[in-house]
Amino acid sequence: MSVLVGKKAPSFTAPAVVNGGEVVENFSLDQYVGKNHVLLFFYPKDFTFVCPTELHAFQAKLNEFETKGVKVVACSTDTEESHWGWLQMTKAQGGIQGITYPIIADTDKTVSANYGVLAGDYDLDEEGNLIATGPMIAYRGLFLIDKEGTVQHQIVNNFPLGRNVDEALRMVDALQHFEENGEVCPANWQQGEQAMNATHDGVADYLAVN
């Protein structure tokens, strides 16, 4: 696992399904640099159980992300054809019909590997044959990337552990509050609450009233 916080988000070009069914061959996060924050999240596999709950949860909050100028993008190691097929299935059938944000097809697994969320690696056996040392699918990684293309927040969950979309929104609010006001955000901070100046006096003032 690599820590990307404070570093430029790895650049890539890969196929993706956008707008709920349109396949594009050369999708890249570079299109958002200088314009938008990006929330990039990885999930293990199409046609599974926890994964659709997460994809639908991000879709349910998509307007809130977009109002804040944040582009939500998903990624797994499945093919674009698999993504497209899953998008044709209704929620009642276990599908993700209605998802409109881009879903990247990291079929060659390089995006997941570069973001440090690929479960497994390639190795050689005693006969020199290439073998996989794990399932070669993505952990539940999430990366909040600022307008300059720098990773400001990341979490990585194991396969059974679904993420909290409201917490992702809270981290967006905290980052944007800091960017706009220069104030740092204490534990459990919520939008509209008092933050603090990153000085001894500023911390003392905050603690005095909290």
Q: How confident is the model at residue 209 (pLDDT cuts 50, 70, 90)?
A: low
Calculated CA dihedral for residues 21, 27, 30, 34, nearest 10 degrees: -20
CATH class of 14-161: alpha beta
Cβ(173)–Cβ(191) below 8 Å: yes
| Residue range 146-184, pLDDT digits in tens | 999 999 999 999 999 999 999 999 999 999 999 999 999
At residue 88, the 3 state secondary structure works out as coil
Comparing 207 with 114, the larger pLDDT belongs to 114
Domain boundary assignment for the chain: 14-161, 164-210
Catalytic residues: 51
Task: Give residue 202's pLDDT.
Answer: 52
For residues 200 and 91, give the distance between their C-alpha atoms in angstroms, rounded to a whole number.
Answer: 51
Q: Where are the alpha helices (DSSP H) in the chain?
A: 50-60, 62-67, 80-87, 110-114, 165-181, 200-209
pLDDT of 98 over the 90 cut: yes
What percent of the chain shows pLDDT beyond 70?
94
Beta-carbon contacts of 24 under 8 Å, excluding residues fewer than 6 positions away, are 15, 16, 17, 18
Distance CA(128)–CA(131), nearest Å, equals 9
**Helix, strand, or coil (residue 95):** coil
> Which residue in this structure is represented by tokens 């955000």?
185
How far is CA 185 from its chain centroid? 21
Mean pLDDT of the residues in the chain: 93
Report CA Rg, the chain: 19
